[in-house]
Structure 1
Amino acid sequence: MSTFGDIIADENPVLIDFYADWCGPCKTLAPILKEVKTELGENIKIIKIDVDKNQQLAAKYQVRGVPTMMLFKNGAQLWRQSGVIQKQDIINIIKSKA
């Protein structure tokens, strides 16, 4: 099984979505992220992390609110933002950062 460190060390960009099942905005973001994945395909990995089940990881990255998205490449954090963001904005951020 891959560790979080292994996942974010990828040379392709990795978008991490910290979410919670009880979070309304997280449910809004989920289909948006599916569209981002459909559009970018193999150029992006999108990983969803449930903050309730991964409290240590959420604490390590100081996730205070959900949804919080972070973009990593080669283990480095390139971008971070909380809240719902529209598909094209997410795609533009990924393309500009990665």
Structure 2
Amino acid sequence: MKNLNDKILEKLTNILNLPILIYFWSEWCEICKISKNIISDIEIKFKNKIKIIKINIDYNYYTIEKFAIKNIPTIIIILNKKIIIKKQGLFDREFFKKLIKKIL
């Protein structure tokens, strides 16, 4: 799971044909520390089927505004350059597995 900046994220959303899961987080967020491990597990399970990108809200203001992020952790899934899911809060592994299988 890579930490990316605004410009790289914009390029990736334009060139990738895979679903993209964007995970918005911050180091000061306690819930983010829990969900970060879940996101890492999902990345391993669905490698080459979905691209997972970590965005630290403290350093990527353009992306935060673009996606109207108000709370963290928040996930957004983009498919074919369109947002298909935007959810905030803590989710368990089963939620992500079902969600990604549904998309694929």
TM normalised by structure 1 equals: 0.91
Q: Distance in 2 between matches of 1:77 and 1:36?
A: 19
Alignment of 1:1-98 (within 5 A): 3-9=8-14, 10-98=16-104
Question: SS where residue 101 of structure 2 aligns?
Answer: helix
- Segments of structure 2 that go 5 or more residues without pairing to the other structure are none
Q: Between Structure 1 and Structure 2, how many residues are aligned?
A: 98
- Kindly provide the amino acid, as one letter, of the partner of residue 9 in structure 2: F
Letter in 2 for 1:6: K
The two structures, once aligned, show a CA RMSD in angstroms of 1.6
Distance across 2 between alignment mates of 1:94 and 1:8: 17
Amino acid at match of 2:79: K
Instruction: Please give the alpha-carbon distance, in whole angstroms, between the structure 2 residues aligned to 1:26 and 1:78.
Output: 22
Displacement of 1:55 in angstroms is: 1.4
Cα distance in structure 1, aligned partners of 2:103 and 2:47:
17
Q: Distance in 2 between matches of 1:79 and 1:95?
A: 14
Shift of 1:3: 2.9
Residue 94 of structure 1 deviates from its aligned partner by 1.6
Q: Distance in 1 between matches of 2:91 and 2:8?
A: 27
CA distance in structure 2 between the partners assigned to 1:95 and 1:79 by the alignment: 14
| Deviation digits for residues 9-64 of structure 1 (CA, Å, limit 9, x no counterpart) | 32111100011110001101011011101111111111000011001210111100
% identity of equivalent residues: 24
